[in-house]
């Protein structure tokens, strides 16, 4: 109760109760209970301003970008490029042209694997990832290694879910052509020490890609302070629409990289003999882009920045502490991932109850969590588990919802206590 | 719990104390069924008599309560039956959990297997209940692996 009382008083600068009113889905009833949405690490709910902005674009402003000279197209191009500026501000990118729109974090990583990897990685070279990666930051590198005869090296993780940097240091050699690590583990919640990881890689001359899918929506990210070479995230986890994401890259890399998809808009001139490519970022944006989604993402990021990423991180950390204490108080519940630096993601198991049964029984109480391997099978294997249940939090969650989660877990245990 | 609950007492009991949970040494047929998305894994072993009777059916593995209870009930239900009867039960069971067979109105021979009727209200769990049956079917067809993905 003390944790709840502390949260009830405005120690944070964020009014979660008021912000919830912006999210229509959060007013829903599920199986006769108010929805308790604890699956934001999978995808976040959408505020009305994002839904309205996209509707307005389709209803009143719709046109293509960067092709036609009529007024609507000029306005659409302005809105589209305006969203690029908003993203650049979010990440503190030095230049707007360093922001490439992709379908999501997955495509951003694939773009780098293709555009950087196919050009700069050769036989016998090595790519370093970590043991906690999402499949999106494993498979593209495996595909590249297979194609090039390169090798994948993996930074091991300790029992708490922290990367072992001494082991990482030994993996770094002059064969290392890229380091690709998650900023925050989606399965364990660990905030990895990406600053150190990047410094160590750069000391060996290797560029670093950071998968920020679980970080960018939840904490301030400064790509210049990090000095990362690439940073990717997904719009749909950041209160934005599906099908849109962001790749930030250092201009010196983006300019030297191969294009990803060929087509319209990414070219300068085309003849049947030779094509010259458009300058960045357009070199990487072939075809008519996801215009409404980009504009919606811009609105989502403005919304998050108005709340303040510092305030979001602080508030979510309070939720994490409270939820960790609540779950740890239930006999039979084990939290998987106990790193000292964690984002508001809690993977857990319950003795004798499969995570899918936990997921279904919690859903009957209106509590939405993820159950499964979280697209991170190697992490699950590391901890000897086929799956876990995962509760993940956002700034629109309330202390009372943590209590609902705790009560639903206790009820689940009671159902199985035959 | 509502009357559409997935977890009847019998299902929870069987998930914790499954019947025929053992390997069969040198089984005539066996198949490992896997549900890659959730990690359910069930190996079904079958010995078939000369007249096509399933003389012994057993399983091993790990998975959710629905999968474990379903595997247990399946082994009990098909043991001693002819292969064709077992396949017919699989068909009826599959239709039951998909909501295409109403045990109160439609003709069936499911017996106690109707305890899985409420799975039909949980579409994402259909594959949990049907995984052992797919494994049995593939074991009888002499296929090495089954998947519900």
Q: Is B5 on the interface with A (CB under 8 A)?
A: yes
Radius of gyration of chain A measured on its C-alpha atoms: 22
Are A110 and A152 contained in the same domain?
A: yes
Q: Considering the domain boundaries, does residue A243 fall inside one?
A: yes
In chain A, which residue's Cα lies nearest the Cα of B4?
A: A364
Residue A59, number of CB atoms within 10 A of its CB: 8
Using CA atoms, how far apart are residues A143 and A129, in angstroms rounded to an integer?
A: 14
Query: What topology does CATH give the domain B23-142?
Result: Sufe protein. Chain: A (3.90.1010)
Q: Is B63 on the interface with A (CB under 8 A)?
A: yes
The pLDDT, as a whole number, for residue B114 is: 96
Q: Is B37 on the interface with A (CB under 8 A)?
A: yes
Please judge whether B1 and A415 are an interchain contact, meaning their C-beta atoms are less than 8 angstroms apart: yes
Are A318 and A396 contained in the same domain?
A: yes
Using CA atoms, how far apart are residues A327 and A329, in angstroms rounded to an integer?
A: 5
**Chain A residues contacting B, CB < 8 Å?**
31, 352-357, 360-361, 364, 371-373, 380, 386-387, 415-416, 418
Judge contact between A181 and A192, C-beta under 8 A: yes
The pLDDT, as a whole number, for residue B147 is: 65
Query: Quick one: angle between helices A399-416 and A355-364, nearest 10?
Result: 120
Helix (H) or strand (E) holding A409: helix A399-416
Give the SS3 label for residue A201: helix
Q: What is the mean pLDDT of residues B111-116?
A: 96
Q: What is the mean pLDDT of residues A36-52?
A: 98
Find, among A176, A183, A256, A268, the residue nearest to A221 by Cα: A183
Judge contact between B133 and B70, C-beta under 8 A: yes
Are A295 and A393 contained in the same domain?
A: no
Q: Which two tokens stand for residue A102?
A: 């992709």
The overall average pLDDT reported for chain A is 95
Q: Considering the domain boundaries, does residue A418 fall inside one?
A: no
The CATH number of the domain holding residue A312 is 3.90.1150.10
Are A205 and A105 contained in the same domain?
A: yes
Asked whether the predicted pLDDT for residue B134 surpasses 50, the reply is: yes
The pLDDT, as a whole number, for residue B145 is: 65
Cα→Cα distances A75→A89, A262, A265, Å: 21, 26, 18
Find, among A22, A88, A18, A73, the residue nearest to A298 by Cα: A88
In chain A, which residue's Cα lies nearest the Cα of B12?
A: A416
Are A203 and A251 contained in the same domain?
A: yes
Asked whether the predicted pLDDT for residue A222 surpasses 80, the reply is: yes
Judge contact between A412 and A333, C-beta under 8 A: no
Give the residue from A254, A275, A306 where a domain finishes. A306
What would the 3-class secondary structure string for chain B be? CCCCCCCCHHHHHHHHCCCCECCCCCCCEEEEEEECCCCEEEEEEEEECCCCEEEEEEEEEECCHHHHHHHHHHHHHHCCCEHHHHHHHHHHHHHHHCCCCCCCCCCCCCHHHHHHHHHHHCHHHHHHHHHHHHHHHHHHCCCCEEECC
Cα→Cα distances B117→B6, B10, B92, B129, Å: 8, 13, 11, 10
In chain B, which residue's Cα lies nearest the Cα of A356?
A: B64
A interface mutation test: which of B1, B62, B64 has the most A CBs within 10 A?
B64
For residue B65, the chain A residues in CB contact (below 8 A) are: 353-354, 357, 416
Are A231 and A267 contained in the same domain?
A: yes
**B100 compared with B2, residue with greater pLDDT:** B100
Give the SS3 label for residue A67: coil
Q: Which residues of A192-218 are buried (b: 16+ CB within 10 A; e: fewer)?
A: bbbeebbebbeeeebbbbbbbbbbbbb
Please give the angle made by the CA atoms of A415, A417 and B5, to the nearest 5 degrees.
20
Give the SS3 label for residue A60: helix
Are A301 and A360 contained in the same domain?
A: no
Name the band, by pLDDT with cuts 50, 70 and 90, for residue B149.
Answer: low
Domains in chain B: boundaries:
23-142
Q: Considering the domain boundaries, does residue A176 fall inside one?
A: yes
Q: Is B122 on the interface with A (CB under 8 A)?
A: yes
Using CA atoms, how far apart are residues A42 and A313, in angstroms rounded to an integer?
A: 18
Please judge whether B38 and A415 are an interchain contact, meaning their C-beta atoms are less than 8 angstroms apart: no
Q: Is B88 on the interface with A (CB under 8 A)?
A: no
Q: Which two tokens stand for residue A251?
A: 């201009």
Q: Which of A386, A415, A416 has the CB atom closest to B62's CB atom?
A: A386
The pLDDT, as a whole number, for residue A7 is: 47
Q: Which residues sit opposite A310 in a β-bridge? A: none
Asked whether the predicted pLDDT for residue B142 surpasses 90, the reply is: no
The pLDDT, as a whole number, for residue B2 is: 47
Using CA atoms, how far apart are residues A187 and A337, in angstroms rounded to an integer?
A: 8
Find, among A7, A16, A12, the residue nearest to A394 by Cα: A16
Are A212 and A279 contained in the same domain?
A: yes
The pLDDT, as a whole number, for residue A6 is: 44
Are A293 and A368 contained in the same domain?
A: no
Please judge whether A361 and B7 are an interchain contact, meaning their C-beta atoms are less than 8 angstroms apart: yes
Q: What is the mean pLDDT of residues A340-363?
A: 96
Q: What is the mean pLDDT of residues A135-147?
A: 97
For residue B125, the chain A residues in CB contact (below 8 A) are: 356, 360
Q: Closest approach of chain B CAs to the CA of A337, in angstroms?
A: 20
Please judge whether B12 and A386 are an interchain contact, meaning their C-beta atoms are less than 8 angstroms apart: no
DSSP letter string, A318-385: HHHHHHHHHHHTSTTEEEE---SSB-SEEEEEETTB-HHHHHHHHHHTTEE-EEE-TT-HHHHHHTT-
Please judge whether A418 and B13 are an interchain contact, meaning their C-beta atoms are less than 8 angstroms apart: yes
**Which residues, in sequence order, are CB contacts of A21 under 8 Å at separation 6+?**
none
Question: For chains A and B, what is the number of CB pairs under 8 angstroms?
Answer: 52
Q: Could you tell me the residue range of the domain that residue A200 belongs to?
A: 51-306
For residue B16, the chain A residues in CB contact (below 8 A) are: 352, 416, 418
What would the pLDDT profile of A364-381 be if each residue is shown by its tens digit?
A: 999 999 998 888 889 988
- The ipTM is 0.88
Cα→Cα distances A139→A106, A129, A132, Å: 10, 11, 13
Are A6 and A72 contained in the same domain?
A: no
Please judge whether B7 and A415 are an interchain contact, meaning their C-beta atoms are less than 8 angstroms apart: yes
Judge contact between A67 and A265, C-beta under 8 A: yes
Please judge whether A356 and B64 are an interchain contact, meaning their C-beta atoms are less than 8 angstroms apart: yes
Give the residue from A242, A271, A306 where a domain finishes. A306
The overall average pLDDT reported for chain B is 92
Q: Considering the domain boundaries, does residue A381 fall inside one?
A: yes
For residue A380, the chain B residues in CB contact (below 8 A) are: 39
The pLDDT, as a whole number, for residue A3 is: 43
Are A35 and A56 contained in the same domain?
A: no
Q: Is B149 on the interface with A (CB under 8 A)?
A: no
Looking at the structure of chain A, the number of domains it has is: 2
Q: What is the mean pLDDT of residues A252-264?
A: 94
Give the SS3 label for residue A408: helix
What would the 3-class secondary structure string for A76-144 be? HHHHHHHHHHHHHHHHCCCCHHHEEEECCHHHHHHHHHHHHHHHHCCCCCEEEEECCCCHHHCHHHHHH
Find, among B98, B64, B118, the residue nearest to A412 by Cα: B64
Q: What is the mean pLDDT of residues A157-180?
A: 98
Name the band, by pLDDT with cuts 50, 70 and 90, for residue A247.
Answer: very high
Q: Considering the domain boundaries, does residue A226 fall inside one?
A: yes
Give the residue from A306, A334, A358 where a domain finishes. A306
The CATH number of the domain holding residue A218 is 3.40.640.10
Give the SS3 label for residue A211: strand
Using CA atoms, how far apart are residues A71 and A133, in angstroms rounded to an integer?
A: 45
């Amino acid at each position: 109760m003390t944790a709840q009382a502390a949260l009830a008083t405005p120690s944070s600068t964020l009014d979660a109760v008021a912000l919830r009113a912006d999210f229509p889905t959060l007013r829903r009833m599920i199986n006769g209970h108010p929805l308790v949405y604890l699956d934001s690490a999978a995808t976040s709910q959408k505020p009305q301003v994002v839904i309205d902005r996209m509707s307005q674009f389709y209803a009143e402003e719709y046109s293509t970008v960067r092709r036609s000279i009529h007024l609507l197209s000029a306005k659409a191009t302005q809105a589209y490029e305006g969203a690029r500026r908003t993203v650049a501000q979010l990440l503190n990118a030095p230049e707007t042209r360093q922001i490439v729109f992709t379908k999501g974090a997955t495509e951003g990583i694939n773009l780098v694997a293709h555009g950087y990897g196919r050009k700069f990685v050769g036989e016998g070279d090595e790519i370093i990832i970590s043991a906690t990666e999402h499949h999106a930051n494993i498979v593209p590198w495996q595909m590249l290694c297979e194609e090039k005869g390169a090798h994948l090296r993996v930074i091991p993780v300790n029992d708490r879910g922290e990367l072992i940097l001494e082991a990482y240091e030994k993996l770094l050699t002059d064969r290392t052509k890229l380091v690709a690590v998650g900023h925050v583990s989606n399965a364990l919640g660990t905030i990895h020490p990406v600053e150190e990881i990047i410094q160590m890689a750069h000391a060996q001359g290797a560029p670093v890609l950071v998968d920020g899918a679980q970080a960018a929506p939840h904490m301030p990210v400064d790509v210049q302070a990090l000095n990362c070479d690439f940073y990717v995230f997904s719009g749909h986890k950041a209160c934005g629409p599906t099908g849109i994401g962001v790749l930030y890259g250092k201009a010196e890399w983006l300019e030297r990289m191969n294009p990803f998809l060929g087509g319209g808009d990414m070219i300068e001139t085309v003849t049947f003999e030779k094509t010259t490519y458009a300058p960045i970022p357009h070199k990487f944006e072939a075809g008519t882009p996801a215009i409404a989604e980009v504009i919606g993402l811009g609105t989502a990021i403005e919304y998050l920045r108005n709340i303040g990423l510092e305030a979001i991180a602080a508030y979510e950390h309070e939720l994490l502490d409270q939820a960790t204490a609540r779950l740890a108080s239930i006999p039979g519940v084990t939290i998987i991932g106990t790193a000292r630096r964690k984002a508001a993601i809690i993977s857990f198991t319950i003795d004798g109850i499969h995570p899918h049964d936990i997921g279904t029984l919690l859903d009957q109480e209106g509590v939405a969590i993820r159950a499964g391997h979280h697209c991170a099978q190697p992490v699950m294997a590391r901890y000897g588990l086929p799956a876990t249940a995962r509760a993940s939090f956002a700034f629109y969650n309330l202390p009372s919802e943590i209590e609902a989660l705790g009560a639903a877990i206790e009820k689940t245990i009671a159902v199985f206590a035959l | 719990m509502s009357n559409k609950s997935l977890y009847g007492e019998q299902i929870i009991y069987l998930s914790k104390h499954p019947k025929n949970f053992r390997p069969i040494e040198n089984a005539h047929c066996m198949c490992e069924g896997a549900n890659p998305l959730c990690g359910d894994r069930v190996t079904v072993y079958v010995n078939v008599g000369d007249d096509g009777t399933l003389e012994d059916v057993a399983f091993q593995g790990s998975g959710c309560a629905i999968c474990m209870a379903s595997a247990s009930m399946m082994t009990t239900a098909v043991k001693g039956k002819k292969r064709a009867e077992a396949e017919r039960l699989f068909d009826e069971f599959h239709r039951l959990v998909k909501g295409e067979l109403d045990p109160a109105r439609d003709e069936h021979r499911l017996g106690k297997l109707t305890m899985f009727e409420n799975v039909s209200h949980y579409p994402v769990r259909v594959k949990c209940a049907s995984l052992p049956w797919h494994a049995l079917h593939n074991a009888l067809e002499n296929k090495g692996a089954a998947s519900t993905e």
